[in-house]
Amino acid sequence: MMDFDFLEGKRLTEDVALDETMVWNEDIEMLDLHLVATSALIGVVHRVSYELLSRYLPNDYTAVVVETLARHVKAVPTGTRVAVGVRVVGVVGNRVKFRGIVMSGDEKILEAEFVRAIVPREKLRRLALEKAEKTSRLFGI
């Protein structure tokens, strides 16, 4: 197993445009407000953390989100540009803990804590194929 302690303290901030693909669409009557979905904001924070880790991981490794705790503090409309910041706050074995924040100017939009597990790509592929084979057998495919 590789040692990932060197990731502690690494950080990345990106400027992100929140577009219509991120709109909250669960309540049809509220669609005309063009508010960004919580899940879309979490997705952006996760993506920035992946971009940060991918700079440091060997090509045969990837990092998957295994745990997320998020607090959506303020509604924000699509079309808004936000700053998305992530920071590695802990590393235990292959698990990397992050804190993330989405800001619009000086207003906090979302804050999150989450964990990514660093795993060999080949192991992930093997697990996915085994799962697909089991599902195929279950349905007689």
Q: Which residues are annotated as a binding site for malonyl-CoA?
A: 2, 38-39, 46, 61, 65, 72-73, 75, 94-95, 123
Residues 9, 4: Cα–Cα separation, whole Å: 12
Q: Which region holds residue 6: left if phi is over 0, alpha if psi is between -120 and 50, else beta?
A: alpha
Q: Which residues are annotated as a binding site?
A: 2, 38-39, 46, 61, 65, 72-73, 75, 94-95, 123
Q: Which strand ranges, in their side-by-side order, compose the sheet holding 107-120?
A: 11-17, 81-92, 95-104, 107-120, 61-72
**CA distances in angstroms from 103 to 10, 22, 72, 111, listed in the order given:** 19, 16, 11, 9
